[in-house]
């Protein structure tokens, strides 16, 4: 039997999320970047593997200068490589959720 893990990717432009089932051997690390068609941006954008990290929690730690774990560091690095930041996607995600 194959085990699947649902992982989550987040659009580096608009903060919308995409859930992807992956088999265990195909797990990608947090911060992995994937080109995906974004239904909100209407174009192919850089989606970043966020896995089970909490964006709210991460933003809180980041804003308060608390120590980040390596997975959180990797995610922030990936964001800056995609010319985005935690502030950008956090704010945009808040807007997205209000619209729904
Ligand atoms: Zn998007």
pLDDT digits (tens, 9 = 90+) for 19-73: 988 888 888 899 999 999 999 999 999 999 999 899 999 999 999 999 999 999 9
The Å distance, Cα 96 to ligand 1 centre, comes to 10
Burial 13-28 (b: 16+ CB within 10 A, else e): bbbbebebeeeeeeee
**What domain range includes position 39?**
4-99
pTM above 0.85, yes or no: yes
Q: Which residues pair with 8 in a beta bridge?
A: 19
Token reading at 55: 């964006």
97 Cα distance to chain centroid: 15
CA distance 2 to 56: 32
Q: What is the pLDDT of residues 7-30, one digit of tens each?
A: 999 999 999 999 988 888 888 899
The Å distance, Cα 17 to ligand 1 centre, comes to 8
The Å distance, Cα 20 to ligand 1 centre, comes to 16
How many domains does one find in the chain? 1
CB-based contact 14:41 (threshold 8 Å):
yes
């Amino acid at each position: 039997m194959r085990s699947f893990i649902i992982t989550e990717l987040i659009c580096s432009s608009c903060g919308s999320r995409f859930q992807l089932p992956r088999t265990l051997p195909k797990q990608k690390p947090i911060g992995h970047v994937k080109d995906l068609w974004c239904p909100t941006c209407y174009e192919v954008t850089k989606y970043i593997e966020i896995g089970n990290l909490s964006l709210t929690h991460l933003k809180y730690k980041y804003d308060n200068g608390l120590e980040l774990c390596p997975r959180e560091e990797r995610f922030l690095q990936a964001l800056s490589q995609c010319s985005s930041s935690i502030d950008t996607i956090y704010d945009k995600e808040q807007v997205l959720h209000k619209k729904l």
